[in-house]
Amino acid sequence: MIFGASTCLLRGRKPHEHSKVTFVELFFDLVFVFAITQLSHYLLEHFTVAGIMQTALMLMAVWWVWIYTSWATNWLDPRTTPVRVALFALMLVGLVLSTSIPEAFGTRAAGFAAAYVLMQVGRSAFMLWALRRHDGGNYRNFQRITAWFVLSALFWIAGIFADGQARFALWAIALAIEYAAPACGFRTPGLGRSTTTEWDISGAHIAERCGLFIIVALGESILVTGVTFGKMDWMAATAAAFAVAFIGSVAMWWIYFNIGAERAAEYIAASDDPGRHARVAYTYTHLLPVAGIIVTAVSDELVLAHSGGHVDFKTAATTLGGPALFLVGNLIFKRILAGSRGLSHMVGLGLLLLAAPAALIAPPLVLGAITSAILVVVAIWETRSLGAHAPLQPAARASAVPVKPKARPRKRKRG
């Protein structure tokens, strides 16, 4: 560790080519399918003010450890053995983190906090070892990053020995430190601060990785829907609820991936400062659509289990709140990168607000059908809007190569 890795473990970069996502990165993501499932179940079973706040805190922690690992593999070459072993080690500790989620604020606080700290500090230490001899600029960046994680670790560990609200407060302080760090450029006494232009990343790689995490979250939603439906008697109401849940998931996929996400990836790939765009649009903003998908998964399970009867507060809040969170996150994301005004998303949010009174009179199945229909409307509207009006984005203009007009052929003189 003192002398650094003798062999270069970094990706080889070629001009106009982005770093490809590797199979080991996809394998690493499987741990987070389990983590998302644990979070949705925790929210379902602890739908109180305290439970919602605890779920939000744990989601922020899970997202933060995943996104930082995605940044790391943007530079590291996962085809090398040391990097693969490091990812496998992170997977193992990540399983401990995920299994601790149901009792993170109970008997397994040590498992959750210790696993989280080990993943964040351990990965940063590995980056220092990998970078020292081969990338001095990023080595200094990760010195600063490691210092911030060591500082936050004090609060994570202290929370293990606290109870109730005190534990939540200490862990919230730890996350506040970590979430503030990129915005502050990881400013560290004696080490200075980082600038986004120093984060020489492949923007397309970050875009693809975050898109895959959306797939992970949607996959968990479909998994919950399928498992719940499989345990129930197949009646018309449950079959309809099953179809409504699936249509909602498809609409979410369509809203995120159709056109807008592709344009965003092109924009960041051609940007002169991909680090800045990756920090705002992907590192921070993507947490909102992920949260929306998780909340919607809880709603799908509730509607499937109780398709008729009265809509309780939990069902109403998740059925309306999940799509709203998803649309807000997508609206911000696409405004930052794709240059979209997001009129379809704003109308969708307005329709969700207008649908709120339906929770007082309509059964859960009808309310779920209304929100899924709103998502379908947004998906169709955006597809037609962006498809019909596809102006050349700033990224495309920046990357376009001007073509010189062909010279006119000279007339041959007649001799």
Q: Of 149, 169, 194, which one is at a domain's C-terminal end?
A: 194
Q: Is residue 10 part of a domain?
A: no
Predicted pLDDT at 392: 36
- Domains in the chain: how many in total? 2
Q: Is residue 5 part of a domain?
A: no
pLDDT over 70 percentage in the chain: 90
- pLDDT top residue among 386 and 143: 143
Same domain, 223 and 186: no
Q: Of 169, 194, 219, which one is at a domain's C-terminal end?
A: 194
151-155, 273-277, 335-339, 406-410: lowest mean pLDDT where? 406-410
Q: Is residue 399 part of a domain?
A: no
Q: Is residue 103 part of a domain?
A: yes
- pLDDT of residue 282 exceeding 90, the answer is yes
- pLDDT of residue 173 exceeding 50, the answer is yes
Q: Is residue 13 part of a domain?
A: no
Is residue 224 within 8 A of residue 252, CB to CB? The reply is: no
pTM value? Answer: 0.90
Average pLDDT over residues 122-149: 94
Predicted pLDDT at 59: 98
User: Where residue 330 sits, what CATH number does that domain have?
Assistant: 1.20.1410
Same domain, 161 and 227: no
Buried b (16+ CB within 10 A) or exposed e, 94-106: bebbbbbbbebbe
Helix (H) or strand (E) holding 334: helix 313-337
Same domain, 223 and 314: yes
- pLDDT of residue 269 exceeding 70, the answer is yes
- pLDDT of residue 407 exceeding 70, the answer is no
Average pLDDT over residues 281-298: 96
Average pLDDT over residues 371-400: 69
Same domain, 72 and 156: yes
Same domain, 39 and 157: yes
Same domain, 133 and 241: no
301-315, 324-338, 390-404: lowest mean pLDDT where? 390-404
Predicted pLDDT at 382: 86
Same domain, 64 and 134: yes
d(CA 76, CA 139): 13
Mean pLDDT, rounded, of the chain: 89
pLDDT band for 266, please (50, 70, 90 cuts).
confident
Provide Rg for the chain, Cα atoms.
Answer: 24
- pLDDT of residue 393 exceeding 60, the answer is no
Structure tokens belonging to residue 220: 């968990």
Predicted pLDDT at 16: 58
Q: Is residue 56 part of a domain?
A: yes
- pLDDT top residue among 269 and 402: 269
d(CA 258, CA 375): 13
pLDDT band for 90, please (50, 70, 90 cuts).
very high
Same domain, 189 and 213: no
Predicted pLDDT at 232: 87
Predicted pLDDT at 2: 55
Q: Tokens 């001799």 label which residue?
A: 415
Average pLDDT over residues 202-211: 90
Same domain, 212 and 161: no
- pLDDT of residue 74 exceeding 80, the answer is yes
Predicted pLDDT at 174: 98
**C-alpha separations of 333 from 23, 260, 330 in Å:** 27, 9, 5
Same domain, 105 and 186: yes
Q: pLDDT tens digits for 9-60? A: 998 876 556 778 999 999 999 999 999 999 999 999 999 999 999 999 999 9
Residues spanned by the domain of 84: 23-194
Q: Is residue 397 part of a domain?
A: no
Q: Is 381 exposed, middle or buried (0-12, 13-18, 19+ CB in 10 A)?
A: middle
Q: Is 47 helix (H, G, I), strand (E, B) or coil?
A: coil
Instruction: Tally Cβ neighbours within 10 Å of residue 411.
Output: 6
Per mean pLDDT, which of 90-99, 297-306, 382-391 is the most reliable? 90-99
Same domain, 237 and 158: no
Q: Is residue 7 part of a domain?
A: no
Question: Which of these, 65, 41, 66, lies nearest to 54 by C-alpha position?
Answer: 41
- pLDDT of residue 402 exceeding 90, the answer is no
Same domain, 277 and 241: yes
Q: Of 147, 176, 194, which one is at a domain's C-terminal end?
A: 194
Average pLDDT over residues 294-303: 96
Phi/psi for 188 (5° steps) reads: -135, 130
Residues forming a β-bridge with 158:
none
pLDDT over 90 percentage in the chain: 72
